[in-house]
Every structure is written in C-alpha cells, then in structure tokens.
Amino acid sequence: MPGYRLYFLSDLGHIEQVGEFDADDDTSAIAAVERARGNAQMELWCGTHKVMHWDASPVSSTTVSA
C-alpha cells in the first residue's frame, strides 16, 4: 500500500504542514483528500510523483447587519 504525503501550502507556495497517510492507489488517495478538503492550497505526493495540486478555495464571507 503506497504512502502519500499531503502538503498544505502558504499563499507563497511554502510548505506549512504535512500529513501522511496510506491509500490503495492515487484514485483512493485523491478521494480521501477530497472528502476532508478545506480551503487551503495543497499538493498530494506519492514518493517523487506529484499526484495532484489544489488551489486555495476562496473564503466566503457573510455580512451580518445589526
């Protein structure tokens, strides 16, 4: 079972955090990340192979009026 690394990147593309997990294949790894996806810019790697890159999702803001 391949080991994957998920890199959480800053706005400048610097690594801020790394998560490691195992998955059966790239498709399963991508599905696992998609289920837990936040709004961060991320890259998924398996060894020296970049599997996928996600751009940061825009943060929606809500306006509260009093």
Question: CB atoms < 10 A from the CB of 6, how many?
Answer: 21
25 domain residue, yes or no:
yes
Comparing C-alpha atoms, which of 49, 55, 41, 37 is closest to residue 3? 49
pLDDT at 38: 85
Tens digits of residue pLDDT in 7-65: 999 999 999 999 999 999 999 999 999 998 888 999 999 999 999 999 998 765 555 55
33 found inside a domain: yes
Q: What's the domain range around 46? A: 3-54
Residue 65 covered by a domain: no
Tell whether 60 is covered by a domain. Answer: no
Q: What is the CA radius of gyration of the chain?
A: 14
- The dihedral sign for the CA sequence 25, 27, 29, 32: negative
The answer to whether position 63 is within a domain reads no
* pTM of the predicted model as reported, rounded to 2 decimal places: 0.82
Residue 64 lies in a domain: no
